[in-house]
A and B are shown apart, each in its own frame.
Chain A
Amino acid sequence: MNVMMLLEMGSQAMGERTGIQCGDDRWTIGELFAGAGRVASHFRGAGVEHAAILDVSSPAVPLALFGAGWAGLPFVPLNYRLTGDELDALIERITPALLVTDDQRAEQLRGRDGIQVVTREEFLGIARGTGEVPDPDWQMDPEEIAILLFTSGTTGVPKAAVLRHKHMVSYILGSVEFMGSDDADAVLVSVPPYHVAGMAALMSSLYAGRRIVQLPNFDAAEWLRLAEKEAITNAFVVPTMLSRIIDELEASGASSPSALRSLAYGGGKMPLPVIDRAMRQFTETDFTNAYGLTETSSTIAVLGPDDHRAAAAADSPEARKRLASAGRPLPSIEVEIRDEAGKALPPGQRGEIHVRGEQVSGEYVGRGSLLIEGGWFPTNDGGYLDEEGYLFIDGRIDDVIVRGGENLSPGEIEDVLHEHADVADCAVVGIPDEQWGEGVGAVIVRKSGSEVTAEDLQGWVKEHLRSSRAPQRLEFWDELPYNETGKLLRRKVKADLGES
């Protein structure tokens, strides 16, 4: 197996279709295939062990991704928001490497030991060039590494997740129908290449035959403009992006993009009020919530359009709550909730989410496979399944607050706070407590004009949950810190709580 095979099939059956466009730069699927072959030759000639990119989205990303697969090298998309020591440390971990980057960084990085720098323009030139396209001679060993993806490091030093060809190919075959898209379909990709959703979007769209329109630097107004101009039918956004898009729509009074049929979201917990507003703004659009991890080659559970409509229209609180769930596992994925002793738990009980399936890697460079007996991957995410198999995510197990021996889930408390009419956003974290070891701290972003007090909200939590879950310290902030892919920076909340 090799991800190149996916592009080869696309090139054979839909070679004339536009595969990708970024600004004025357009590539058909056939041109991407030939370009991948030319850059593969270049990679081979370079004598390196990794093919890396340190750049915003452009056609260079899929070319490097597939070209690396062709040449038998792991592809490493690096986070271009990193600078200085953080970035140097990651680069050191992948030498000897060929690195594609922008002009400015190329200047800074040229001459480093073990790094061959190629600018984006040079790289696109090689791909577009007159070089011969090699025979399709890529390795088909499913165990070869397709992608090394550094995790965001919100909880420590970034780990390099290993995604082998078998994981990525299994994910695509299990979730995308070959040539399943109409000729006119187009997807707007605004997630960065160093995020697993960015990788998955490229592969699944090229396999489905859906034109990819890249938006390198997310901006809500630009997203809406491009969506209209390019007749975008599909898009994926992280929660913070969706929130800004709705703000922009509400502020401008414009209508939602007319061709947009399907809007998927994921990459972080979506606050219920945001999705509620989104469904009111995008009346003609189907919503899909995708839950997944880097270590699972992207999506493992989806809350589909019908689920969204059913939950939004439901009367029972149980059914309505599903709007905040991650939906049900993909048919190719098994999910179990287990307690600390590893025992599987029945519906309704909270524990650690375990997953199993062909696309699940659960492996990091230098740490080996974290899969346990039977091939299960403990995700370190806490959650539960309801009676009908809907998966609810509480957040990272590491974030669980241990108060006097009792485990409190921040997600559970946040859900209750979000239901309060005056709460726009919130975060619950553990805080040091002399008596209990840890206590509950909360940061609230009030809706504009609200004068709700800490006592009101403490009372609200007590009323809906047990009193031990009521935040003992509660602060009001103007906004919460998120990273650019929508992940709440809990460490920062924890550090800053009590400082203001």
Chain B
Amino acid sequence: MAALKAGSRLKSGVCDTQVMVIAAPDGDLDLTCGGAAMVDAAADAPGGDVDPSHKNGTQIGKRYVNEAGDLELLCTKPGEGSLAVGGDALTLKEAKALPSSD
């Protein structure tokens, strides 16, 4: 798909997953969820089945990053599919335990 913009919302073409882009590198990225290309949140989802090899699911409120660390997505709606770029699975970003300050 086209280049990603921080702040924009995307959804899976094949499951309920929705994400917000927190950070993204320049250039086109092959971002998938459930094995199918992600689409703009406002677009129609093409539909279809989740690829069993991309079916680890997404969790709401979790942040996902690529290995290079320059792509970061926040899952705003969970789904069955899992996120990947160029076929490589994105990984959960470790939550930093902070004392509640407000």
Min CB distance B41 to A, Å, is 9
**B20: CB under 8 A from chain A?**
yes
Surface stretch bound by B, among A4-12, A35-43, A83-91: A4-12
* Distance between Cα atoms of A234 and B101 in the complex (Å): 9
**Looking at the complex, which one of A5, A204, A331 makes contact with B76 (CB distance below 8 Å)?**
A5
A-B pairs with beta carbons under 8 Å apart, 27 shown:
A1-B6, A1-B7, A2-B7, A5-B9, A5-B76, A8-B76, A9-B60, A9-B61, A9-B77, A12-B60, A140-B8, A173-B74, A177-B95, A178-B60, A178-B62, A179-B60, A197-B102, A205-B102, A208-B100, A262-B99, A262-B100, A264-B99, A288-B99, A290-B102, A298-B102, A302-B98, A302-B99
Q: Which residues of B contact A331 (CB under 8 A)?
A: 96, 98
* Distance between Cα atoms of A61 and B52 in the complex (Å): 46
Given contacts A141-B7, A173-B63, A177-B61, contact A264 B100 (CB under 8 A): yes
Min CB distance B76 to A, Å, is 5
**B50: CB under 8 A from chain A?**
no
Q: Are B102 and A264 in contact (CB under 8 A)?
A: yes
Q: Which residues of B contact A173 (CB under 8 A)?
A: 22, 63, 74
* Distance between Cα atoms of A204 and B98 in the complex (Å): 12
Shortest 10 CB-CB distances between A and B: which pairs? A178-B61, A290-B101, A142-B7, A1-B7, A304-B99, A288-B99, A200-B102, A299-B101, A201-B102, A140-B7
Max chain B Cβ within 10 angstroms of own Cβ: one of A1, A200, A205, A330 = A1
Interface residues of A in 1-50 (CB under 8 A from B): 1-2, 5, 8-9, 12-13
**A305: CB under 8 A from chain B?**
yes
Q: Which residues of B contact A9 (CB under 8 A)?
A: 60-61, 76-77
Interface string of A99-143 (1 = CB under 8 A from B): 000000000000000000000000000000000000000001110
Q: Which residues of A contact B62 (CB under 8 A)?
A: 178
Q: How many residues of B contact A (CB 8 A)?
A: 21
**Looking at the complex, which one of B8, B60, B101 makes contact with A175 (CB distance below 8 Å)?**
B101
Q: Are B101 and A266 in contact (CB under 8 A)?
A: yes
* Distance between Cα atoms of A447 and B23 in the complex (Å): 54
* Distance between Cα atoms of A298 and B7 in the complex (Å): 21
Interface string of A181-214 (1 = CB under 8 A from B): 0000000000000000100110011001000000
Q: Which residues of B contact A180 (CB under 8 A)?
A: 95
Q: Are B20 and A140 in contact (CB under 8 A)?
A: yes
Q: Are B99 and A13 in contact (CB under 8 A)?
A: no
**A236: CB under 8 A from chain B?**
yes
Min CB distance A223 to B, Å, is 16
- Taking A173-B22, A264-B100, A304-B99 as given, write out 7 further A-B residue pairs in contact, using a Cβ cutoff of 8 Å, ordered by the A residue number: A2-B7, A166-B7, A177-B61, A177-B95, A178-B61, A288-B101, A304-B98
**A230: CB under 8 A from chain B?**
no
Min CB distance A1 to B, Å, is 4
Interface string of A42-67 (1 = CB under 8 A from B): 00000000000000000000000000
Min CB distance A5 to B, Å, is 6
Interface residues of A in 291-339 (CB under 8 A from B): 298-299, 302, 304-305, 330-331
Residues of B whose CB lies within 8 Å of any CB of A are 6-9, 20, 22, 60-63, 74, 76-77, 95-102
Nearest B residue to A291 via CB reads: B101
Min CB distance B61 to A, Å, is 2
Q: Are A288 and B61 in contact (CB under 8 A)?
A: no
**Looking at the complex, which one of A8, A178, A179, A302 makes contact with B101 (CB distance below 8 Å)?**
A302
**A286: CB under 8 A from chain B?**
yes
* Distance between Cα atoms of A177 and B8 in the complex (Å): 21
* Distance between Cα atoms of A1 and B21 in the complex (Å): 8
Max chain B Cβ within 10 angstroms of own Cβ: one of A13, A178, A330 = A178
* Distance between Cα atoms of A180 and B7 in the complex (Å): 23
* Distance between Cα atoms of A264 and B99 in the complex (Å): 9
Max chain A Cβ within 10 angstroms of own Cβ: one of B8, B9, B20 = B20
Min CB distance A265 to B, Å, is 9
Q: Which residues of A contact B100 (CB under 8 A)?
A: 204, 208, 234, 262, 264, 288
Q: Are B61 and A179 in contact (CB under 8 A)?
A: yes
Q: Which residues of A contact B102 (CB under 8 A)?
A: 197, 200-201, 204-205, 236, 264, 290, 298-299
Interface residues of A in 120-174 (CB under 8 A from B): 140-142, 165-166, 173
Max chain B Cβ within 10 angstroms of own Cβ: one of A140, A204, A236, A288 = A140
Nearest A residue to B97 via CB reads: A177
* Distance between Cα atoms of A331 and B93 in the complex (Å): 14
Interface residues of A in 217-272 (CB under 8 A from B): 234, 236, 262, 264, 266
